[in-house]
Amino acid sequence: MNGQAAYPDNVESQELLDDACRFAQTFIRIIEQHPLQVYASALSFTPVNTTFYRRFHHTSQNPRIIMGADTAWSPLLLTFSDSKRCQCLSFSPDGMRMLSGTTDGAFYIHDATTGAPVLAPTRNQHVDIEQDLHRRCAFSPDGSWVVTVLMEDIQLDDDFRQLSTQMLNLWDSSSGAQIREPIVVSRSSIPIRDLIVSPDGTLIACCSTTTIYAFDVKSGMEVFSSTSPNVYSSYRVLAFSPDSTRIVSGSNSSRGSISCWDSSTGVEMLGPLTGHSSSILDVACDAKQILSVDGHGNVRIWDTLSGANILALSLQGMQELCYPAPGRVAFSADGQRLAVCTGKGRIGVWDPFSGVETRVITESGKSWKTTWGVIAWSRNGKVLASGRHDSVRLWDATASTNTQNRKLVPYIYSLDGKKIAFADKDDCVPNIIVLDAMSGAELCTLRGHSKSIPSVGFSPDGSLIVSGSHDQTIRVWDITTGTEMYALTEGHTDSINSVAFCPEGRRIVSASKDCTIRIWDTISRTTVLCLPEAHNEFTSAAFSPDGMRIVSHTRFRDVQVWDSESGAHILGPLVVPDDDPGPPVAFSPDGTAIGCSLADKYQWAGGSDPLMFDRWHQWDAITGTATASALPQVIHGCTPFDRFVIEKADMSIRDTITGSKLCWLPPLGFNKTASSQSSMVLTTDAGTIVMHFPPWMLSG
């Protein structure tokens, strides 16, 4: 149901009802688990230009996003989770249900409107299928049954290949009951790679790398099997013609080919049709033409009767994208659009007849850094499904992503919390952007570094910024004029990992990949102290609040304390048994403690994107004894002693001063945070967000 159907003559009511539907879909997890937090948690992340937000959001009562807020609804409609990596997807003909299969052999049906499970999972024997299989599940044309690949009697042969009896399992899509005995395809180590049902519902076709099979649905009898005569070519993808009389196949050879088969006899009617430059990733067919796309983004259109090549073109922009893999490319049911999901999760829609990209559904995200992922179209072409890791996402295929929000890291607040400094790599030119923390207005952009900028820091009075770059230089900037005051270029011989002002503003500490820490005098602009060279690079360094000590952290994960005047070693090493360095090490505001949060491995929770969580470590700054922290044991991407942090357990923002949970977050792929005493910066897969909390929420 939509607002236009309910209120055809009232535009505002139409918009409000449409917004309410999207609101419920987008924030279903928050609404179900934390219903009293709808205003603070869900409404704050609602697009600001929607009628829903304008009607119900109140700045004095709810958290407010002053930078990075969406202006319109995201193409993302819904996210729901499966047990393991999603490997195949299929919509029911009416688009109301979503069939998905995972690498552990399980198949699920979810409601495509709410994400609620419709049936308990149907499962194979316990086996991980970590192979290039494309489609292993499909709905029947009327949606009453589904067919899935079933693997049984799994054994290893003498060459340690996994042998299995591969079958097609047909089951009722409403009850989950098996509707006939499984159809045995083969006993082989070669898996079924693609599976389709004919439009009239009478045939099921599937292929392994060597053979195409067709079976009669009612009898389960094999109609034909056709084995490839070419040892250098294998079958990869299949498609039926609209009248179910032909099967089109695409090959996996280095120069992919197309063939067309009579579905009742298995006789090759056309082909092999050559001209592609790599293996075929998807095919589509109508009464007049066959469409095919290969791994280099080349599209060819063929005449179904003569096999003549009608059109050959390349998808524009594909040279700049990671080349896709089977399952990550899909023609719409009418063949008029082509969806491509790249290796980093970017989903775009192309016109296969012009090669023009007509829509960007979602940009690349850090959490999609994987070679896995599948996509599928709904029958009406309005919704795209994508599967990766342990979740399935449904996207509005008629909408485009908001690409205006930039991802800016690192970032840091000034001591008074009134300014935020970000590093930005715009058009491959590293910049530093300084924003007003209350309004989000840009104060200045600082340009001068030639390589990326991993660290920035404010002077105590907030008037200056120091930056360290991989170009081996340290630069000091005047924020008021937006100009560079001077550069420290003599000293370090490798990338600068960390920089910070001393509390009195007269000195700067820098940590470098050259395994040294240097202290600089801001008046003479020279090195006044160089700490003893370490056996590994220093990743961060910071002054104590009184400026008398320096705490450092190395790639070997040890934390040490030094005298900032003499360079004498005072404390440490405090060894932390983690694999990867996390956010910087730092003293607490009162100087009595040292804190460091180190990156943990990727974890998945509640169907959200994979998130990098941190384990918090804290020590007494005098004795080095490990001490209890007010922060939760596992936090997410914060800098030491931040007021606001994200808790892993329930993706909530916690105020570490009052102990209160301020709000719960939608699954946006958060991967780094920083905070002042009243606001918070959050980096997501889509960009950077600055969020303010109203005073009443911070009173405890």
Distance, in Å, from the CA atom of 576 to the CA atom of 310, rounded to the nearest integer, reads 64
Residues 172, 214: one domain?
yes
Does 231 have pLDDT greater than 60? no
First-to-final CA distance of the chain: 42
- pLDDT, position 410: 64
The Cα diameter of the chain in Å comes to 90
Check: CB of residue 204 under 8 Å from CB of residue 168: yes
Question: Are residues 59 and 105 both part of a single domain?
Answer: no
Distance CA 199, CA 285 (A): 12
Q: Are residues 134 and 88 in contact, defined by beta-carbon separation less than 8 angstroms?
A: yes
H or E element: which one contains 23? helix 11-26
168 confidence band (pLDDT: 50, 70, 90) = very high
Residues 197 and 249 in one domain: yes
Query: Which residue range(s) make up the domain with 665?
Result: 593-700
* 605 is a domain residue: yes
**Helix, coil or strand: residue 17:** helix
**Within a domain: residue 119?**
yes
Task: Answer whether residue 459 is part of any domain.
Answer: no
**What pLDDT, on a 0 to 100 scale, did the predictor assign at position 12?**
81
The answer to whether 23 and 45 are in contact (CB under 8 A) is no
Are 16 and 106 in the same domain? no
Q: State the pLDDT at residue 379.
A: 95
Please, are residues 560 and 550 in contact by the beta-carbon 8 Å criterion? Answer: no
At residue 141, what is the residue type? P
pLDDT digits (tens, 9 = 90+) for 393-450: 899 998 877 655 666 766 899 999 999 999 876 656 789 999 999 988 999 999 999 9
- Contact of 223 with 216, CB cutoff 8 Å: yes
Q: Which residues pair with 260 in a beta bridge?
A: 248, 270
Instruction: Out of 100-109, 137-146, 435-444, 631-640, pick the least confident.
Output: 631-640
What does the pLDDT read at residue 639? 80
Bigger pLDDT: 204 vs 348: 204
pLDDT for the residue 7: 55
Share above pLDDT 70 across residues of the chain, in percent, rounded to a whole number: 84
Is residue 264 pLDDT above 70, yes or no? yes
Instruction: Give the pLDDT score at 627.
Output: 85
Separation CA 576–CA 559 (nearest Å)? 8
**Could you please report the per-residue DSSP string of 600-653?**
EEEE--TT---EEEEEEEEEETTT--B---SS-SEE-SPPTT-SEEEETTTTEE
The residue behind tokens 């294998």 is 234
In a domain, residue 640? The reply is yes
Q: Are 58 and 139 in the same domain?
A: no
Name the residue among 247, 612, 268 with its Cα closest to residue 409: 612
> Is 320 a residue whose pLDDT tops 60?
no
For residue 460, what are its two tokens?
């105590």
Going 2 to 4 to 10 to 15, the CA torsion angle's sign is: positive
d(CA 150, CA 124) in angstroms, rounded, equals 6
Residue 253 — pLDDT band, cuts 50, 70, 90? Answer: confident
The arithmetic mean of pLDDT across residues 565-594, rounded, is: 81
Q: Is the pLDDT of residue 504 over 50?
A: yes
Q: Which two tokens stand for residue 631?
A: 């922060």
Nearest to 304 by CA among 353, 269, 275: 269
> Which CATH number does the domain housing residue 209 bear?
2.130.10.10
Domain final residue, candidates 377, 396, 415: 396
Give residue 127's pLDDT. 45
**For the segment 95-130, what is each residue's pLDDT rounded down to a tens digit?**
999 999 887 778 899 999 888 889 877 765 444 444
CA–CA gap between residue 451 and residue 428 (Å, rounded): 9
> Is residue 159's pLDDT more than 80?
no
Cβ contacts of residue 51 below 8 Å, gap of 6+? 12, 15, 16, 19
Report the C-alpha gap between 139 and 15 in whole angstroms. 34
Do 104 and 138 belong to one domain? Answer: yes
Q: Which of 127-131, 145-149, 188-192, 570-574 has the lowest mean pLDDT?
A: 127-131
Residue with tokens 């249900």, as numbered in its chain: 97
Domain count, the chain: 3
| pLDDT beyond 50 at 595 | yes
What pLDDT score was predicted for residue 426? Answer: 60
* Contact assessment for residue 544 and residue 507, using Cβ atoms and an 8 Å cutoff: no
The rounded percent of the chain whose pLDDT value lies above 90 is 55
Are residues 605 and 679 located together in one domain of the fold? yes
The pLDDT value given to residue 654: 92
Distance CA(77)–CA(332), nearest Å, equals: 18
Question: What type of residue sits at position 150?
Answer: L
pLDDT at 606: 40
DSSP 307-338: --EEEEEE-TTGGGS----TTSEEE-TTSS-E
- Residue bearing the bigger pLDDT, 418 or 155: 418
Same domain, yes or no: 598 and 655 = yes
Q: Indicate the residue among 13, 32, 67 that finishes a domain.
A: 67
Distance of CA 438 to the CA centre of its chain: 29
Segment 297-325 shows an average pLDDT of 84
Whether residue 8 is predicted with pLDDT greater than 90 in this model: the reply is no
CB neighbour list of residue 194: distance below 8 Å, 6 or more residues apart? 133, 134, 135, 206, 207, 235, 236, 237, 238
Q: Hey, what are 695's tokens?
A: 């005073």
Q: Which of 25-29, 206-210, 569-573, 613-617 has the lowest mean pLDDT?
A: 613-617
Say which residue the tokens 């600089």 belong to. Answer: 520
Same domain flag for 368 and 264: yes
Choose between 695 and 613: higher pLDDT: 695
More confident residue, 491 or 607: 491
- Residue 149, strand partner residues: 168
Radius of gyration of the chain (CA): 29
Q: How far is CA 18 from the centre of its chain?
A: 27
Residue 463 lies in a domain: no
Residue 481 inside a domain? The answer is no
Looking at the structure, tell me whether residues 181 and 87 fall in a common domain: yes
496: confidence class by pLDDT, cuts 50, 70, 90: very high
Look up residue 310 and give its amino acid: I
Residues 8 and 134 occupy one common structural domain: no
The model's confidence at residue 617, banded by pLDDT at 50, 70 and 90, is confident
Q: How confident is the model at residue 28 (pLDDT cuts 50, 70, 90)?
A: confident
Closest listed residue to residue 282, CA positions, set 272, 293, 290: 293
Residue 279 forms part of a structural domain: yes
Mean pLDDT over 361-388 rounds to: 75
The answer to whether residue 237 scores a pLDDT higher than 50 is yes
Report CA dihedral (670, 674, 679, 684) to the nearest 10 degrees.
-20
Whether the upstream peptide bond of residue 410 has omega within 30° of 0, thus cis, is yes
Task: Report if residue 535 sits inside a domain.
Answer: no
* Residue position matching structure tokens 């102290």: 529
> Model pTM?
0.76
β 558-563/569-575 pair status? antiparallel
Domain boundary among 362, 396, 430: 396
Q: Walk across the sheet containing 569-575 and list its strands.
A: 538-543, 549-554, 558-563, 569-575
More confident residue, 449 or 342: 449
HEC readout, 165-178: EEEEEEEECCCCCE
Residues 12 and 143 reside in one and the same domain:
no
